[in-house]
């Protein structure tokens, strides 16, 4: 299978412009030569332009953490996919669990945002994941399939192939607790099966990242799983050396 590994750093609300510029330059030096891994960082929107400047010419994509479903208008505080694209962004996150939990983002809103991203020429990473309560209540499959089905419901099959999925169990985000490679692989295989059912065999090409306390010490064993095609990294992406070590782990 020819899926190119994809390592993404979600900086959340950390690293203002000066710090973000510094980390981006260090990352650029640490990654060096063209690599067989797709790499991207997601700074706060306030730091995007500093990071784009620092990475100019480097093989590291930049994305925004959030976009509105409309390109412009009376939407105080929102980011526009069209504007992000015109600045030089390539990617955006959609449906991160913090957005779902703290801002009440629904699966339906995610569907609109995924479509808005693709229409603007941004490549979305749709995040899905269950809470610990949902997992314990045996709802894992139902929750994930709903997030997947509804989140991608507005897309044509050819559009779906441009989406990356990120499986991030909510209980593993920022907690130091990681799904075991077996747990993660099982879910990734389930997600891939549903993607193929829904969008046809081409969906084998869709990359599925794992996220939730990924760090240099556990990246290799997670990334060795056949259906884990990369990682969405929070805390460990804030330092260039640990993020670069995860990129290296993806090189096999
Ligand atoms: P974490 O965050 O790596 O700090 O657990 C992952 C994420 O929220 O994307």
Q: How many CB atoms lie within 10 A of CB 137?
A: 12
Q: d(Cα 218, Cα 211) in Å, to the nearest integer?
A: 11
* Percent of the chain surpassing pLDDT 90: 94
Terminal CA-to-CA distance of the chain, rounded, Å? Answer: 15
Beta strands in 84-228 (DSSP E): 91-94, 123-128, 164-167, 208-211
Q: What is the mean pLDDT of residues 133-149?
A: 96
**Per CATH, is 6-250 categorized as 3.20.20.70?**
yes
Torsion of CA 138, 105, 243, 77, to 10 degrees: -170
What is the distance between the alpha carbons of residues 95 and 67, in angstroms, rounded to a whole number? Answer: 10
Say what the pLDDT of residue 217 is.
97
Nearest CA to ligand 1 atom 3: 234
Give the residue numbers annotated as catalytic, written as ranges: 96, 168
Query: pTM of the entire structure?
Result: 0.97
Segment 169-222, tens digit of pLDDT: 999 988 888 889 999 999 999 999 999 999 999 999 999 999 999 999 999 999
Spatial neighbors of 8 by CB under 8 A, at least 6 apart, are 39, 40, 41, 42, 63, 91, 125, 166, 209, 230, 231, 232, 233, 237
Number of Cβ within a 10 Å radius of residue 185: 18
pLDDT in tens, 46-92: 999 999 999 998 999 999 999 999 999 999 999 999 999 999 999 99
Q: Give distance in angstroms: CA of 115 to centre of ligand 1.
A: 24
Q: How many whole angstroms from 75 Cα to the centroid of ligand 1?
A: 27
Domain ranges of the chain: 6-250
pLDDT exceeds cutoff 90 at 153 = yes
CA atoms 155, 159, 160, 163: torsion sign: negative
196 close to 161: Cβ distance less than 8 angstroms: no
If residue 191 lies in a helix (H) or strand (E), which one and from where to where?
helix 181-199
- Which residue among 174, 176, 238 has the greatest number of ligand 1 atoms within 8 angstroms of its CB, and so is best to mutate? 174
- What is the CA(66)–ligand 1 centre distance, in A? 15
Q: Check whether 34 has a pLDDT greater than 80.
A: no
Q: So what's the pLDDT on residue 177?
A: 85
Pair 10, 234: CB distance under 8 Å: yes
pLDDT band at residue 28 under the 50/70/90 scheme:
very high
Minimal-distance CA residue to ligand 1 atom 7: 234
| 74 Cα: distance to centroid of ligand 1 (angstroms) | 31
In this predicted structure, what is the pLDDT of residue 186? 97
d(CA 154, CA 151): 8
Work out the mean pLDDT of the chain and round it to a whole number.
96
| Ligand 1 pocket, CB under 6 A | 10, 168, 173-174, 211-214, 232-236
Q: Output b/e per residue, 62-100; b: 16+ Cβ within 10 A.
A: bbbbbbbbeeeeeeeeebbbbbbbeeebbbbbbbbbbbb
Structure confidence at residue 252 (pLDDT): 79
Average pLDDT over residues 210-236: 97
Task: Tell me the mean pLDDT in the region 222-240.
Answer: 98
Could you give phi then psi for residue 153, rounded to 5 degrees?
-70, -20
Is residue 1's pLDDT more than 70?
no
Radius of gyration of the chain measured on its C-alpha atoms: 17
């Amino acid at each position: 299978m020819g899926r190119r590994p994809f390592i993404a750093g979600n900086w959340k609300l950390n690293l203002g412009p000066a710090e973000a510029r510094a980390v981006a330059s260090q990352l650029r030096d640490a990654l060096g030569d063209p690599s067989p891994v797709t790499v991207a960082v997601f700074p706060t929107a306030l730091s995007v332009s500093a990071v784009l400047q620092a990475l100019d010419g480097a093989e590291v994509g930049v994305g925004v953490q959030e976009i509105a479903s409309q390109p412009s208008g009376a939407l105080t505080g929102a980011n526009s996919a069209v504007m992000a694209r015109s600045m030089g962004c390539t990617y955006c996150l959609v449906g991160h669990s913090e957005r779902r939990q703290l801002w009440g983002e629904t699966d339906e809103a995610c569907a609109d945002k995924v479509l808005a991203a693709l229409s603007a020429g941004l490549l979305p990473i749709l995040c899905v994941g269950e809470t610990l309560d949902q997992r314990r209540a045996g709802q894992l499959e139902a929750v994930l399939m709903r997030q997947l089905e509804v989140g991608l419901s507005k897309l044509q099959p050819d559009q779906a192939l441009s989406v990356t999925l990120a499986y991030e169990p909510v209980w593993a985000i920022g907690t130091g607790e990681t799904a075991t490679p077996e747990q993660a692989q099982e879910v990734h295989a389930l997600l891939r099966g549903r993607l193929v059912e829904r969008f046809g065999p081409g969906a084998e090409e869709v990359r599925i990242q794992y996220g939730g306390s990924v760090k240099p010490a556990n990246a290799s064993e997670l990334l060795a799983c056949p259906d884990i095609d990369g990682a969405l990294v929070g805390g460990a992406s804030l330092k260039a050396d640990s993020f670069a070590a995860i990129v290296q782990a993806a090189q096999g």
